[in-house]
A = this chain, B = another copy of it.
């Protein structure tokens, strides 16, 4: 059991035994041409830690991951994706039979409107790249599986908790994990994170800690939500 911080009893009790937990992690890649793409600084570490902690607690975990440099965890079903659309398709395929989804992936909000099959040549001094909004997977989940426990993430540089609360309401999430990525000692590239957990009743801000410890705290909050679904 990798769980260190929270009560070891949770681990021994295998409190998520019989539960199916879907975790998304890492960035997405949105191709511009065969050569270039838009992506983001997500390392996938937070999501991989959540997947491992959930598996340690007895859950049947499926990890849907964008491209990362991390070792695929042993104890989880692993689905590799590239673009936001690929990740959404993988979620749709697995969400029906899931009890909870923890969406820690940094899914690109926008993708190039058109994909150029040949490499764009360096010619004009200025070019314009047209981007279109990616589909909103969160909004469609309720229709597919109304009893699903939904945990979102909000990575922001400013007004972090305010934006996170709005997302919690708008997307009808059960829980949202906010983290301020403007702090260089935590967040994307780091092994540490500084999280705030927000649900419809309260906001709890934690000090900076390892991503594995953050994952334990997050799952500690997911366990009671999951027991409700029984």
Contact = CB atoms under 8 A, between A and B. Distances in A.
A80 interface: no
B35 A38 contact: no
Interface in A88-141: 106, 108-110, 113, 117-122, 124-133
A36 B40 CA distance: 4
A182 interface: yes
B126 A128 contact: no
- A interface bracket (residues with beta carbon within 8 Å of B): 35 or more
B32 A38 contact: yes
Interface string A161-187: 001000000000000000001100000
A162 to B, nearest CB: 12
A150 to B, nearest CB: 18
Contact of A106 (B35, B122, B133, B156): B35
Contacts of A118: 157-158
A46 to B, nearest CB: 14
Given A34-B157, A36-B38, A37-B39, 17 more contacts: A34-B181, A35-B40, A35-B106, A35-B155, A37-B41, A39-B39, A109-B120, A119-B181, A124-B133, A125-B133, A126-B131, A127-B131, A128-B128, A128-B129, A128-B130, A129-B130, A129-B131
Interface of A: 32-41, 69, 106, 108-110, 113, 117-122, 124-133, 155-158, 163, 181-182
